[in-house]
Amino acid sequence: MVFSSLTFLLLFLPAVLLVYFAVPRQGKNAVLFLFSLLFYAWGEPVYVVLMIFSTVLDYTCGRLVEKYRGTSKQKIGLLISVFVNLGLLFFFKYTDFFIGTINDIFGANIPLLNLPLPIGISFYTFQTMSYTIDVYRGEANMQKNIISFGAYVSLFPQLIAGPIVRYQDIADQLDKRTHSFDKFGDGVKRFVTGLGKKVLLANNIGLLWSTISETNAASLTTVGAWLGIIAFAFQIYFDFSGYSDMAIGLGKIFGFDFLENFNYPYISKSVTEFWRRWHMSLGTWFRDYIYIPLGGNRKGLPIQIRNIAIVWLLTGFWHGASWNFVLWGVFYGVLLVFEKLFLLKRLKKAPAFIGHIYTMLAVLLGWVLFAFDDFGKGFAFLKVMLGGGAGFVSNEALYQLLSYLPLIVICVIASTPLMKKLYEKMTSKCGEGVLLTADTVRILGLSALSVAYLISGSYNPFLYFRF
């Protein structure tokens, strides 16, 4: 492809805005639906049919639920939605994983399907299922307009990587939403902030991770390995939270209010707190549609532990068709159970920095499991982190540390609420004119730097494309 998806989005957006604000209110959802399909078709020209199928399927299932409400047939629409959606997700994302596992265990030679993964299928599958479930539970009204429902399913601002938008959260906004200059301006600021996080921070710190992760573990030093995984931690945070910011900002531009997806997770003082701050839309989805229906914490501690184990096994598996993601989910499930049983009470009594150090060590070890599909490479990297590599530090590791230290400091500051608090303090002391000027300079500067980097830079990965 000539352009990255992010570059294409920036080129694509002006045309969407022009048409969207030119049509009357009744036609705005149709514009969003059409342009969202065009955006998806640019990246996945074949699988746009799959998205249209999912739209028609769940729209029909919602009507079936409503048609048979109060009768023994009410579950028909729900069951069709859940089984077909999960079946599609399983087929495209996990078939080769299970074929490969069977081949490895039994020495079979079943050929792999080698199907390309539809972009964003893990996200929009959960969204479409949430519609039917919400209608079944009576938490949302059936959507009568298939175009409006199609706009919800395919909504391009958050189509590729979330946040996962549950139907009940924006059901009213699909039919009635407000547009204003203030909301448009807030959306632009949020979008540009996310663009800067992704392009200027994630991409640049990602270069360090790319260099270190491709180095043979036998040649790595302990300092080099820790530096690498810290770089990955910042890359994945600014990559994913930056895209979420862009999606939330675009949502505001088009009149929607999406829920937040990140809340400064790296300031957490426990793993439990970390997962209340990281990818909050996914955590909320699993809580409301898996954990609570299984009984949550209402049926005693053994059942609660079972439910946590199930949720985290599924969370790991949701992230990818590879055993390292399963192990990553199990790792966090064990930590969360351990905190629930023993550690949280002690952490609350300990100084805050103790909890923060423990949490960041756990998160960084977890990122090693997440980053390496190959178990051998992952465990070799962990061994180096624990002192089993080519010494403690090398000239190359020191050079990398000194070269990237200013960027690392910026990433540390940007991953905390420090700048937000400074802005709020400025807001209370400065006049509107000063703030407007400062905001304008900031937005124009970030936009110019980000666009310049996109034009000149060749390194522009997006880590959550594969999910």
> Which sign does the torsion angle of CA 360, 365, 368, 371 carry?
negative
Other Cβ atoms less than 10 A from the Cβ of 43: the count is 18
CB 182 within 8 A of CB 264: no
Please state, in angstroms and as integers, the Cα–Cα distance from residue 410 to each residue in 70, 120, 405, following that order.
57, 30, 9
Q: How far apart are CA 185 and CA 322, in angstroms?
A: 42
Shortest CA distance to 255 belongs to which of 18, 12, 39, 21?
21
Cβ-based neighbours of 92, under 8 Å, separated by 6 or more:
115, 117, 118, 121
CB 317 within 8 A of CB 333: no
CB 130 within 8 A of CB 284: no
Q: Tokens 């090398």 correspond to what residue?
A: 394
Please state, in angstroms and as integers, the Cα–Cα distance from residue 466 to each residue in 99, 122, 190, 253, 376, following that order.
19, 9, 25, 27, 21
CB 65 within 8 A of CB 132: yes
> Which residue stretches of 384-431 are H helix?
395-414, 418-429
Cβ-based neighbours of 356, under 8 Å, separated by 6 or more:
267, 268, 269
- Supply the DSSP symbol for 466: G
* 319 is a catalytic site residue: yes
Q: How far apart are CA 309 and CA 306, in angstroms?
A: 5
Which structure tokens are listed for 57? 């399927």
CB 201 within 8 A of CB 243: no
Phi, psi of 170 (to 5 degrees): -130, 15
Which structure tokens are listed for 16? 């969407």
Three-state DSSP state, 153? helix
Catalytic residue among 179, 279, 319, 356: 319
> Which sign does the torsion angle of CA 334, 304, 165, 187 carry?
negative
**What's the half-sphere exposure (Cβ side, CA atoms, 13 Å) at 321?**
20
Three-state DSSP state, 423? helix
Residues with active-site annotation: 319
